[in-house]
Structure 1
């Protein structure tokens, strides 16, 4: 397999400019991560600590194996909304007793852990990842339930969690609830639906209706402990399988449960040599363009991401705006599709479709490195069958059954987003770099199209065109689309699984591939590879 040779010049003006711009964006991202970690703020964190309780991320850290990484999901969910960054819940993938698990931990410092619409986006996305990749799930529960003032936005989607927990259990994927505090109303069904339930004595309170609701509904005066205390559930109702003396013992019991699951991966695992790339990942900050109009060679990214910088390129002389080929990451074989120039022409679409089918024939997971402005437009390309060829690539992506992992490095516009396995095409994980953008098209192009349409409408109606008003509309629309296409906005809306530092790309892909191998790796069968 060929070893990639880097042509990157770290001393160039563009490299220095890219580095400065990327570091600035990473600093902005770090600030949002700090806000997410701060939860409800100093006051509520201190109150929680005075109750002798651990914070959500402290519980996760103690649950995980020593020095095990934690791939957090949706860290900046709810960014730019009225809700706290992070959406009052921490979700992610980590190793517990040697087993990769999906972990969902409520943050009780944010409105008592009450759920908002973005909370449910994160939780249900975590459940989807658990189901698609056959990962045991551990719920660290301390939540007052849904934000009742927003019940119309919560009630229907929240019920899906019960469905997912039941479906996971029926599929033989273990589900575990560790209950540290309140688990009220719908939240009470989390330990009820899980295979295993551990509750902390004198802290866990699990009931369908708390004392105030019971009083309103039945007239009965009831106290927390007799109604839903951990001791009652361990001795009387039988809801609790284990009664823990404190939080540390609860986490220890949880680790013990995972240890005795006798969990085995079904995938073949890493089969290649996982040696480090020959080039420094630090240079990715100099390679990734701050100006998305300036293309960069994805081979430079691969040289700093794949094992030994080895890459066997497929059809290197055909459809050169799309780089395709085989490599391995942390020992896991992959097929790679990476945009070398933004636009996808007829040749790139056909090449991409064919390569996707080849990888399905050999059960090889696919990594998509997005930097695309979409499929080419214009008379020549329409007459050459751009719609047919673009449809072939989208068809291949849709019907591919090997795992997809997607990284949006820069631009992800139009149907190019679809052909390169965007969110609506169910990649197992999708992460973005801080400078990336996702939209129907670039802000200037979109605003320009709307201006042309307005000008044509005025001409058809025989009325004068207001140039001044058009300039204002164009500027306003450009600014709006620009703001809504930014990585922070898209991630805040839950359209990806998180924003990552480009230097962490290899580690994130390695963890994602290891996750995928919990289940069988099997491609689509039933069609032959054909020339298009």
Structure 2
């Protein structure tokens, strides 16, 4: 195996581009000042340095995972096997991008809470890419990390990938090699929640969405149902084993003696049990077979003939726009100008509810309705956004939410003006809009503003974060001040004086807790988004998401009452 083959996909972080095209993360240290760009604020360079520092932290964590898996190279190659990311590199079409999702899943989680040593990713690689011209959701067990054993969020990460595949009618392709559940770190909730992996595979097949599995190694116990619930199964000879109980468990449970090959080898399953449709001689042969299966499925994504204008403003400015201090106001139209075709944006009701910005644009040729904020949501802004959402539904137009929101307006004037009922109009429109919804967390995402601008709980089709994004019920200082007032009022009612030292200590703890939990790295590690992206790549990620939901709208599937059974 050539060294270049080994490293082919190790160097990419969250998005792999065709050879010859530049990826924004490769330009992190370059001077992004471009003559003719709009004048930015005096703090722009400080903003840029801050954004690049946070982006660098994200990329370093992603590379920590890649390096950890790559350490198993000698062991894998000695057995004639490819590393998981090598398998993925050979599987993907080389001339199309691969968008890796949820790269920080499980960081500082139950497996290892230490930020210095925790390895993110949950030992699973998932993303959207192309195989034989077919846009697919791809899941790869990262068996270079603890033999691919299930971690705390592995099941939830896989379930999210399956949900995207089901909603967007994406063939679900899985490269399987996992030691199964880690019995030393057994948690009953992992076992219970993990059943959703099999539930979703059955739903995908019944919905007419093909499930294709290539078994590279162990697929034991519950993992045996990964091929069992697949429509097409390929197993690698003398490497792949699928069984409900392996030799050790079988001997412990029944006293029966049997080898791996007798219980679950590829040749046995191809000739005796009927579980395997194809047997491959090695990893590369299995990948070639899988590509042939995808060619047979034939759901090629044919690029459209239309062209579009690039934004007039440089994407590099997106590093400079968002302030270090989240309390500093930002005109989000500046963000829009750098992600939409030709920087053209037709604003809706610009003079009414002016803090809420709504309007029409195109992103890589796709018509979209965009909603964002230049301040809190007030009564007028809420009703304006509700009307705009309804008008986009009438047109069948996807909605793009660019979150930088401190919440809904509060106070006597706003309560008396009907803030609750007007905010409810927005929530009603958003929750029931039957059009694709895409959300980017660009800055603050505080309070009910997270909900009103289509946060995770409102089930957007895709949700991505910029590395500077902050998500919380409120700011840490607000929370500390609230609890201070509660403590002082309680002391006053009891006739005692407040313990200032205790209140100060509690305030520091509250601010630290809110700051830690509101960071994009923390929320992404909990799967509260689909990944942290480079702001400069926002247009590309939105373009991918819009093309995916557009394809889903036009793709014809043949639903069945039940999935394709292994007969």
* Band of TM-score, shorter chain: over 0.9
Q: Counterpart of 1:503 in 2: which secondary structure?
A: helix
Distance 1:251 1:518, change over 3 A: same
Q: Specify which of 471, 474, 489 is matched with residue 438 of structure 1.
A: 471
2:26 aligned residue: none
Partner deviation per Cα, 1:441-494 (whole Å, 9 max, x = no partner): 111111111111111111122222111110111011101111000000000111
Tell me the C-alpha RMSD between the 2 structures. 1.8
Contact 2:175 2:216 in 1 (8 A): yes
Q: TM-score, normalised by structure 1?
A: 0.93
Q: Secondary structure at the match of 1:517?
A: helix
* Mean Cα deviation higher: 140-149 or 193-202: 140-149
User: Does 2:78 align with 1:50?
Assistant: yes
- Specify which of 249, 255, 264 is matched with residue 291 of structure 2: 255
Deviation, structure 1 residue 403:
0.6
Find the partner of 2:137 among 102, 109, 114. Answer: 102
Query: Is 2:343 aligned against 1:309?
Result: yes
2:333 to 276, 286, 299: 299
Measured against aligned partners, the alpha-carbon deviations of 1:5-57 in whole angstroms (never above 9, x if no partner) come to x98325x5311111111111111111111112224562x34323332222222
**Residues 1:318 and 2:346 aligned together:** no
Contact 1:145 1:184 in 2 (8 A): yes
2:242 corresponding residue in structure 1: 206
- For 1:520, what is the secondary structure of its paired residue? helix
Separation in 2, partners of 1:398, 1:67: 38
The 5 Å alignment of 1:498-513 reads 498-513=531-546
Q: Offset of 1:264 from its aligned partner?
A: 6.7
1:274 and 1:40 mapped to 2: Cα distance?
40
For residue 95 of structure 1, report the CA deviation from its aligned partner: 1.3
Contact 2:38–2:313 (CA under 8 A) maintained in structure 1 = no
| Distance (whole Å) between structure 1 residues aligned to residue 331 and residue 537 of structure 2 | 18
Helix, strand or coil for the counterpart of 1:338? strand
Q: Please give the per-residue CA displacement for 1:125-159, whole angstroms capped at 9, x wherever unaligned.
A: 10111111111100110001111232413211111
Alpha-carbon distance in structure 1 between the residues aligned to 2:305 and 2:444: 33
Q: Displaced runs of 4+ in structure 1, greater than 6 A?
A: 268-272
How many residues of Structure 1 are paired with residues of Structure 2 in the alignment? 512
Match of 1:153 among 189, 195, 203: 189
C-alpha change, 1:443 and 1:428, in structure 2 (3 Å) is same
Find the counterpart in structure 2 of residue 23 from structure 1. Answer: 52
Q: Which residue of 1 aligns with 2:372?
A: 338
**CA deviation after TM superposition for structure 1 residue 354, in Å:** 0.6
Q: Distance in 1 between matches of 2:450 and 2:337?
A: 24
1:517: which partner in 2? 550
Q: Say yes or no: does 1:60 pair with 2:88.
A: yes
Give the CA deviation at 1:337. 0.3
Structure-2 residue corresponding to 1:230: 266
Provide the C-alpha distance between the structure 1 equivalents of 2:303 and 2:336, rounded to a whole number of angstroms. 21
* TM value normalised by structure 2: 0.88
Partner secondary structure for residue 251 of structure 2: helix
| Long gaps (5+) in structure 1 | 1-5, 523-532
Cα drift, residue 397 of structure 1: 0.8
Show structure 2 runs of 5+ residues with no match. Answer: 1-35, 112-118, 556-567
For 1:243-269, what per-residue CA distance to the aligned partner results, in whole angstroms no more than 9, with x for missing partners? Answer: 11111111111111111113277xx99
Question: What is the match of residue 501 of structure 2?
Answer: 468
- Whether 1:179 aligns to 2:215 is yes
Q: Which residue of structure 2 lines up, in the alignment, with residue 14 of structure 1?
A: 43
